[in-house]
Amino acid sequence: MAIREAALVLADGSVFEGEAIGAESTIATGEVVFNTVLSGYQEVITDPSYAGQIITFTYPHIGNYGTAPIDDEASRPHCRGVIVRDLARRHSNHRAETSLDAMLAARGIPGIAGIDTRRLTRVLRDTGAMSGAFGTASESDLLAAARAERGTDGIDLVATVSTAQPYSFGSGRHRVVAYDFGIKTTILRCLAEIATVEVVPASTSAADVLARRPDGVFLSNGPGDPAAVPYAVDAIQQLLGEVPVFGICLGHQLLGRALGGTTFKLPFGHHGGNHPVRHEASGHVEITSQNHNFCLDPESLAGKATVTHLNLNDLTNEGMRVMNAPAFSVQYHPEAGPGPHDSRYLFDQFDRLMQDGSF
């Protein structure tokens, strides 16, 4: 196959030369972020939380074990593109059905390889996540497109990834209604071990949820700015105290906002499978999988929730327990996919909360 020369241009004018991979695209735009996972690239790419973003993998060699449909976290990827240093020309794994390059092409996701991802990561780390554009167009056209890209602030990306119709998953003993703000398949598999899950659209009212008579309500992960999803906050406010609630990632942020808390954008977000988080009650440190750009301000939750987990890299809020309602949440991903399984006990905690009201 002939090499398709391409370039990545950031909104600050930084230029990176490479070659186009995946789906053909003259110009692809989005908010450029970096992820530090060593494996699990397929799960990352198919995570709906990356809607509106271009994913940079810091690990230099990507694609060596190919892809398999069973590892998808959603029915289709929602990211805007993929950036890698070295794309494996051959893949080797007994589970693989196709290469990463072929998967990207089939799913309509453009990419760019041969990029100096160490330099790119330093730029993003020092200046923060920023808009960018890549493709086979001229550098001037790419720069104009990068500067015209809105990014993710203030945009309701949840509406672009949520299911249109309710559906069921699993057959566990409890009944759980799960809000789909961009829910991952691995989360559904973990919930299915303890519950029959009814997945509902993000816009579902609290009255509709309660009419389903659930034992618990789950608030899923998802993309973008929690301040842009006020309808979800309104529903959560009406659910608190009526039914046990468990939130992950965006669900954590929305639960915090439902309590009157505030959220802010992190400089370059947390994206990776190796973030240390301390469980405050025990002092134990969990290595966690993370993918978020926004964070809850713990001071805004004073008197309403207690902080249960703390990020040891930057001391940001990673978990809370609501004081006057059976509800808790974490900022990171206990289901992993990809990442370590140190925190899967939180699903057992949700099980106990629904069973007898204990944490």
Please identify every residue annotated as catalytic: 249, 333, 335
* Residue entry with tokens 């309701």: 156
> Rounded to 5 degrees, what are φ and ψ at 284?
-70, 145
Identify the sign of the CA torsion 280, 283, 288, 294: positive
- Alpha helices (runs of H) in 149-298, residue ranges in sequence order: 158-161, 185-192, 206-211, 230-239, 250-258
Distance CA 242, CA 9 (A): 50
In three-state form (DSSP H/G/I as H, E/B as E, the rest C), the secondary structure along 201-221 is ECCCCHHHHHHCCCCEEEECC
- Alpha helices (runs of H) in 96-182, residue ranges in sequence order: 100-107, 117-127, 139-148, 158-161
Buried b (16+ CB within 10 A) or exposed e, 138-157: eeeebbebbbebebbeebbb
Q: If DSSP codes are grouped into helix, strand and coil, which group holds residue 183?
A: coil
333: its two tokens: 């991903």
* Residue entry with tokens 């230099």: 60
Asked whether the beta carbons of 174 and 350 are under 8 A apart, the reply is no
Q: Residues with Cβ < 8 Å from 49, sequence gap 6 or more?
A: 182, 184, 221, 222, 223, 249, 250, 291, 292
Asked whether the beta carbons of 273 and 338 are under 8 A apart, the reply is yes
Distance CA 326, CA 354 (A): 9
Distances (CA, A) of 12 to 113, 114, 148, 156: 21, 20, 12, 25
342: its two tokens: 């140190």
